[in-house]
Amino acid sequence: MRGYTREDVDTHNDGGVSGPYYPAVNVKVYGCSLDLSPIMVKYACTEKKAQEALNIAWECACEDFWNVDVMEVAEDYFGERAKYYSAGRGGGWLVVEGLGFPGEWDGVQLNRWAMFERAINRCVAFRSADESLLDAIDANLWAGPIAAYKGAISAISYGHAVA
């Protein structure tokens, strides 16, 4: 089995061809396969209401990932010496500045990055799992009879505009 190498570290650059490339983790999630039927049955709601509940759960999962998971994991592995942010057209890259460039890393730094990347990927998998999204819908009653009220309160608390 081949070990993790410097070539395994993804990098990202938002500054064009000549800008610096920083180590990054691809955190894109391609679609949600969650079947809306269990939500519709459990809450006796329409497909539209079930989809709205799923959308709110997804937005909250994304917010929790960036505002809780990333900060906690990054702090655990790199402390305050690095800067973390989302980049790319859809925000699908977690970019880390302040660690130097992967080509200059020693084995300890490379191993720390590999563990960080695995921890971040576990967070992405957890936040995007069907069970996590269903739990969020259940816990917040986003598809239930008071969904309009609860959804508005939850969306406001996450800084989302409510139509």
What digits encode the pLDDT tens for the residues 82-110? 899 998 888 899 999 999 999 999 999 99
Residue 134 falls within a domain, yes or no? yes
Supply the angle between the helices 107-128 and 70-78 in degrees, to the nearest 10: 170
Residue 115 falls within a domain, yes or no? yes
For residues 80 and 57, give the distance between their C-alpha atoms in angstroms, rounded to a whole number: 30
For residues 143 and 145, give the distance between their C-alpha atoms in angstroms, rounded to a whole number: 7
**Residue-by-residue DSSP string for 50-110:** HHHHHHHHHHHHHHHIIIIIHHHHHHHHHGGG-EEEEESTTS-EEEEESS--GGG--HHHH
Using an 8 Å Cβ cutoff, are 12 and 88 in contact? yes
For residues 157 and 72, give the distance between their C-alpha atoms in angstroms, rounded to a whole number: 20
Domain span at 102? 44-157
What's the confidence (pLDDT) of residue 98? 92
What's the confidence (pLDDT) of residue 153? 44
Residue 9 falls within a domain, yes or no? no
What's the confidence (pLDDT) of residue 157? 45
pTM given for the model: 0.82
Residue 129 falls within a domain, yes or no? yes
Residue 111 falls within a domain, yes or no? yes
Residue 153 falls within a domain, yes or no? yes
Residue 11 falls within a domain, yes or no? no
Q: How many domains does the chain have?
A: 1
What's the confidence (pLDDT) of residue 43? 85
Here the tokens at position 20 are 């610096």
